[in-house]
Amino acid sequence: MENFVFSIPTVAYFGKGQIESLGSAIRRFGGSKVLLAYGGGSIKRNGVYDDVVKQLDAAGLPYAELSGIQPNPRLKSVEEGVALYRESGCDFILGVGGGSTLDACKAIAAAAGYEGEVMDLLDGTAEVSGAAPLGTVLTMAGTGSEMDSGGVITVGEDHKKHVIFHQELYPKFSILDPEYTFTVPQWHSMAGAVDILSHLMEQYFTPDCGTEVQDRMNEGLMKAVIDNTPKVLENPEDYDARANVMWASSMALAGFQFRLGKPMFPFPVHYIGHELSSLNDMTHGVSLALVTPAWMRHTMRKNPESTPVFAQFARNVFDVREADDAKAAEQGVVLLERFFASVKMPANLREADVPEDKLEYLAEKAVEHGELGILAKLDRDDVLRILKDAY
Ligand code: NZQ
Ligand code: ZN
């Protein structure tokens, strides 16, 4: 196991009614005027907005509102947010929503402390420094943005997804009330659960680094997501199922704890999935469900030495009893495909309306910044093969 630093500065207020901690949490982190940012209006329909405003008013905290942050958030929302933050003299950002709203808030927080163009921070020309403090009220489980230091912003005509990461971008606190996720539509609830599972798998599928604690904990979380997601599908108001999925979302990426001790940063499926979202605004989690099985099979084909970790996944997560590694690994992929189908993910890229003549373009875009993957290095042709297999 490699050396690592484990530090998650985010305070999690988890459970029913934790919104009552909002005012004191903002004050605790120095906020006196708040930029209240949210998405397309779901929080107004389900009462979360009223809860938030009530708490801000009770704490005597004035606020300016940024609304309309869309799924796969755009640079424009970030720029609007920075301008509003400055014009209205805010000193704290509160993101209320899913990963898209929270990510936009992270980019606003980063840019609020920077005089140049927001894009400099997204393309790495400038480093984040002096970011504004941020708190969140999560309304949808999935991305882990509520307890990680990253954000993903969609930029430009090709809708490229740019990732911003910095220690300063951890939320100061996140309010995690599972009841706030009761109203998430089925499609997004299921896609969010797939996203959580993918974050866990992406940190799990690496060469053996002697990281038993991380990997065994990871397997437990994967099982919990697989067990609880169908319960959410059956009853969207199943509190414990929503609570487990929500906490799994936060834990999956908190401090990237499951890749600590591993000397690499993988996430190849995410790089490919992001291109699908760039192409037709595909829901993030759905893009991951579409690519993962084909990626698993291709990785084992290209590097048969990676088969044991896929077999271990099959045995420890899906309780496969097969002794032969290759057979066990394939059974694991099949069971994962069945899980994705059971939570209503489309079966393939064709069903998800991805034009077949765009596969080459997608493959080129995915490897724009170099080869992907750790278990097998993937170039353009590998990604193309994965996409064709997933079609
Ligand atoms: O916009 P509103 O009206 O809020 O509606 C949203 C949106 O339409 C709706 N929703 C959220 N909570 C709801 C609700 N509807 C009813 N009741 C509620 N309680 O759900 C829709 C999807 O929301 P969104 O925030 O887009 O979903 P998600 O949380 O999946 O975020 C996706 C974004 O996160 C990025 C993705 O790339 C994508 O841009 N990611 C961020 C990561 C991170 N920060 O670490 C990691 C991930 O891998 C991912 O890349
Ligand atoms: Zn993700």
Instruction: Give mean pLDDT, residues 300-323.
Output: 98
Q: Whose CA is closest to atom 42 on ligand 1? A: 143
Please give the pLDDT value at position 377: 96
Distance 67 CA to ligand 2 centre (A): 23
Instruction: Indicate whether 288 pLDDT > 90.
Output: yes
Please give the pLDDT value at position 233: 98
Instruction: Indicate whether 220 pLDDT > 90.
Output: yes
**Domains in the chain, CATH or no CATH each:** 11-180 (3.40.50.1970), 187-389 (1.20.1090.10)
For residue 267, name the pLDDT band (cuts at 50, 70, 90).
very high
In angstroms, how far is CA 80 from the centroid of its own chain? 23
Q: What is the mean pLDDT of the chain?
A: 97
Percent of residues in the chain assigned helix, strand, coil, to nearest 5: 55, 10, 35
39 lines ligand 1 (CB under 6 A): yes
Please give the pLDDT value at position 369: 85
Q: Which ligand is nearest to the CA of 187?
A: 1
Distance 246 CA to ligand 2 centre (A): 14
Beta bridge partners of 176: 14, 138
103 lines ligand 1 (CB under 6 A): yes
Contact 103, 71 (CB under 8 A): no
Residue type, 15: G
316 lines ligand 1 (CB under 6 A): no
Closest of 14, 340, 386 to residue 197, by C-alpha:
340
User: Given the CA of residue 274, which atom of ligand 1 is nearest to it?
Assistant: 37
Q: Whose CA is closest to atom 7 on ligand 1? A: 71
151 lines ligand 1 (CB under 6 A): yes
Whether pTM > 0.85 for this model: the answer is yes
Q: Whose CA is closest to atom 26 on ligand 1? A: 71
pLDDT in tens, 74-110: 999 999 999 999 999 999 999 999 999 999 999 999 9
Please give the pLDDT value at position 265: 80
Please give the pLDDT value at position 359: 98
User: Given the CA of residue 101, which atom of ligand 1 is nearest to it?
Assistant: 25
Rg (CA), the chain: 20
For residue 259, name the pLDDT band (cuts at 50, 70, 90).
very high
Could you tell me what percent of the chain has a pLDDT over 90? 97
150 lines ligand 1 (CB under 6 A): yes
Residue 4: strand, helix, or coil: coil
142 lines ligand 1 (CB under 6 A): yes
Contact 295, 329 (CB under 8 A): no
Please give the pLDDT value at position 264: 82
User: Given the CA of residue 39, which atom of ligand 1 is nearest to it?
Assistant: 1
Q: Whose CA is closest to atom 22 on ligand 1? A: 71
171 lines ligand 1 (CB under 6 A): no
Residue 128: strand, helix, or coil: coil
Q: Whose CA is closest to atom 46 on ligand 1? A: 143
99 lines ligand 1 (CB under 6 A): yes
143 lines ligand 1 (CB under 6 A): yes
Cα 353 to Cα 346: distance, rounded to the nearest angstrom: 10
User: Given the CA of residue 98, which atom of ligand 1 is nearest to it?
Assistant: 25
Distance 79 CA to ligand 2 centre (A): 24
Closest of 321, 320, 344, 324 to residue 334, by C-alpha:
320
9 lines ligand 1 (CB under 6 A): no
273 lines ligand 1 (CB under 6 A): no
139 lines ligand 1 (CB under 6 A): yes
40 lines ligand 1 (CB under 6 A): yes
Cα 296 to Cα 292: distance, rounded to the nearest angstrom: 6
pLDDT in tens, 317-374: 999 999 999 999 999 999 999 999 999 999 999 999 999 999 999 999 999 989 999 9
Q: Which two tokens stand for residue 316?
A: 């420890």
